[in-house]
Structure 1
Amino acid sequence: MNPLTLSLVLMMMILGTLLVMTSSHWFMIWVGFEMNMLAIIPLLTKEHNPRSTEAATKYFLTQATASMLLLVAAIMNLLYSGHWTTMKLINPIASASMTMALTMKLGLAPFHLWVPEVTQGIPLMSGLILLTWQKLAPLSVLYMIMPSTNTNLLMIMSLASIAIGGWGGLNQTQLRKIMAYSSIAHMGWMISILTYNPTMTLLNLYLYIPMTATTFMLLMMNLTTTMNSLSLVSNKSPLITIIILTMMLSLGGLPPLTGFLPKWLIVQEMMKNSNILLPTIMTLLALLSLYFYTRIMYTTSLTMFPTTNNMKAKWQFKTPKKTTHLSPMIIISTLILPLSPIMTILD
């Protein structure tokens, strides 16, 4: 893609997201969502092949449907209350429609089917943007309308997302689909605590974005998209393989890595609110995600013959890509757990 065109598309995507996050007018929020959606389509079709075109079409249809539902809910609330402000979502039907539109944009269950299909058909860089940056705008709107949302509806969606995010990734061999199902499960954890403590949702988002971004950067550095190609990286660069597997376990929430921190604080916050059954079910469902991450670690590291075989291994050339930015990202994504007492005090 032309650098000028790429910079224009990225600027439009960032502008659309910032417009959504800073607006208190439903029409401007809808305009921001439309700008963001139309700007990311060229990034999804950066590689001109039928799979990327199909993925971009699925993404466009899903997001257009969600935007239409959002605008209908905003107009319904306008007719009921007489204003466009986001702080007073009075009509319960408009509130439920708005919640479904935003969860469809986030990829929560039962509107999750587009996430793995779109992520699988696009390049790794586009998948990184789709699973990190594209979550900011819908979550910011959900954060604003949180007092007006239906708590039971959000809880059902969050539990279904955690379950589907774990079950869906069990039999996958494509790393992009695994990351997509991981995103669905993480979104379920964020939404589950939204009604109890919205600040905890932001903390989970702040930790999810660097973990997912670091994992995608490591995959892009080695050009690995499947478990078979990941298993060959150990001959070329064993240290990178260990870091990738550590990142996978951190995404799964295994202590003492960073991914355990948001799950621990969310369960603790729910226990403070006398809710014991829900965090118990969520913790048990999180074991599914941890299982398929552990399966990746087993199949890529523990089943490899411990010698360099030139018939299987990639040529051991030095990578021309700069990796200076990866060091702080890896530290943030794996070693933040000792800061948990500070976060608990601040909370």
Structure 2
Amino acid sequence: MSPITTMIIISSLATGTIITSTSYHWLMAWIGLELNTLSILPIISKQHHPRATEAATKYFLTQSAASALILFSSTVSAWKSGTWDITQMTNPTSNILLTSALAMKLGLAPMHFWLPEVLQGSTMKTALIISTWQKLAPMALMTITANNLSPTILIYMGTLSTMIGGWGGLNQTQTRKIMAYSSIAHLGWMATISTIMTNMMLMNLMLYITMTTSMFFMLILSKSKTIQDTTMSWTSSPTITIMTMLTLLSLGGLPPLTGFLPKWLILEELTLQSLTTMATMMAMSSLLSLFFYLRIAYTTTLTTAPATTTTTHKWRFKPTLPTTLLSSTLPFTLWLLPMTPLILL
């Protein structure tokens, strides 16, 4: 792909998200989502590989169906209320349709089946974009329409997502699929709190994007596509090996790392709202996620795979990718918990 084509596609990707995030008319929001979807398709399928083509097709079909549902729900709302304003969606049918469409866009359970397959068929960099940037536009719509969405459906979907995100990742050996199930679990936490406290959902989203970016960059630098590959990451860089372990523990939500902050606050808020059963189920399901994070942390840092003399000196080579983004996101991934009082204020 030529640099000009790449620049146009990346610009369109960013523009689509910005249009959706800043629009108050349903048609403009839909146009932004469509632009976003059409921009990511060439990025997924540019590998000219059957798996990449399959991933692009699955992504296109799922996102098209979700966009059609959003357009249908907004049309029903405009028909009933006479306005295309996003914040004025008062029809219950439209609200349920919109909730389902946004869940499909994000990959919430039970409409999560496309996410692990699409990520597995993409490159690591594309998987990073799908896991982070592509969540911004639907999350912006969820934030704007939080008062109109169905709280019951979102809470049940969120709880189910955390459970499936934990269960699904247990059986995986591919790091991209593990990160996909990790994404499903994290989005479950965000969906559960979205209609109760929107600012907490946005904080969780920012921390999730930061932690996932750090994790993907370390997987890219160490060229770890499977759990077996992570056993050789110590030959790339001892520092990255340690930071990978800490990032995995942060994703799992262990104190005193950053990942503990959103889980702690969300569980506290759910308990205050008398949703103790949901809070307990989500806390228990996060242990499932923690198990497969710990499994990767164990293979990365606590096992030394048999290696030849040539591979033991691999860490002497300079990294082929710039590490600026990794070094800027890592401190936020690991040491943001002491800033909790400032965030709460």
Report the Cα offset of residue 147 of structure 1: 1.2
Query: Which residue of the partner structure matches residue 59 of structure 1?
Result: 59
Q: State the match for 1:212 in structure 2.
A: 212
What is the Cα deviation at residue 312 of structure 1?
A: 6.4
Q: Which residue of 2 aligns with 1:309?
A: 308
Identify the residue that residue 44 of structure 2 maps to in structure 1.
Answer: 44
For the structure 1 residues 324 and 32, does the alpha-carbon distance in structure 2 shift closer, same or farther, using more than 3 Å as the test?
closer
Which residue in 1 is equivalent to 2:110? 110
Distance in 1, matches of 2:75 and 2:307, equals 64
Shift in Å, 1:321: 2.8
Query: Does 1:202 find its partner at 2:202?
Result: yes
Mapped partners of 1:227, 1:314: distance in 2: 21
1:109/1:164 contact within 8 Å kept: yes
**Which shifted more, 222-231 or 51-60?**
222-231
What letter is aligned with 1:309? T
- Identity fraction in percent: 46
CA distance in 2, matches of 1:18, 1:324: 24
Q: Which runs of 5+ in 2 are unaligned?
A: none
Deviations 1:271-296 (A, max 9, x none): 23333222111111111000110111
Paired residue secondary structure (2:248):
helix
1:246 maps onto 2:246 in alignment? yes
Match of 1:262 in 2: 262
TM-score, scaled to structure 1 = 0.96
Write out the 4+ residue segments of structure 1 that deviate beyond 3 Å after TM superposition: 311-316
Query: Contact 1:166 / 1:181 at 8 angstroms: preserved in 2?
Result: yes
Aligned position for 2:155: 155
Whole-Å separation in 2 of the counterparts to 1:314 and 1:88: 62
Match of 1:21 in 2: 21
Paired residues in the alignment total: 344
Tell me the CA shift for residue 145 of structure 1.
Answer: 1.2
Note the C-alpha offset of 1:310: 2.9
Check 1:325–1:77 CA distance in 2 against 1; reply closer, same or farther (3 A cut): closer
- Alpha-carbon contact 1:193-1:201 (below 8 Å) kept: yes
Q: Which residue of 1 aligns with 2:237?
A: 237
Please report the RMSD computed on the Cα atoms of aligned residues, expressed in angstroms. 1.5
Shift of 1:157: 0.4
Superposition map of 1:1-347 within 5 A = 1-304=1-304, 309-310=308-309, 315-316=314-315, 317-344=317-344, 346=345
Cα distance in 2 between the residues matched to 1:35 and 1:175:
29
Answer yes or no: is the 8 Å Cα contact 2:161–2:185 preserved in 1. Answer: yes
1:81-111 CA deviation, whole Å, 9 max, x = no partner? 1111111112111110111011100000010
Deviation at 1:74, TM superposition (A): 1.0
Residue 26 of structure 1: CA displacement? 0.7
Give the structure-2-normalised TM-score.
0.96
**Contact 2:244–2:297 (Cα < 8 Å) also in 1:** no
Question: Which shifted more, 312-321 or 54-63?
Answer: 312-321
| Secondary structure of 1:304 counterpart | coil
The whole-number CA distance in structure 2 between the counterparts of 1:58 and 1:49 is: 14
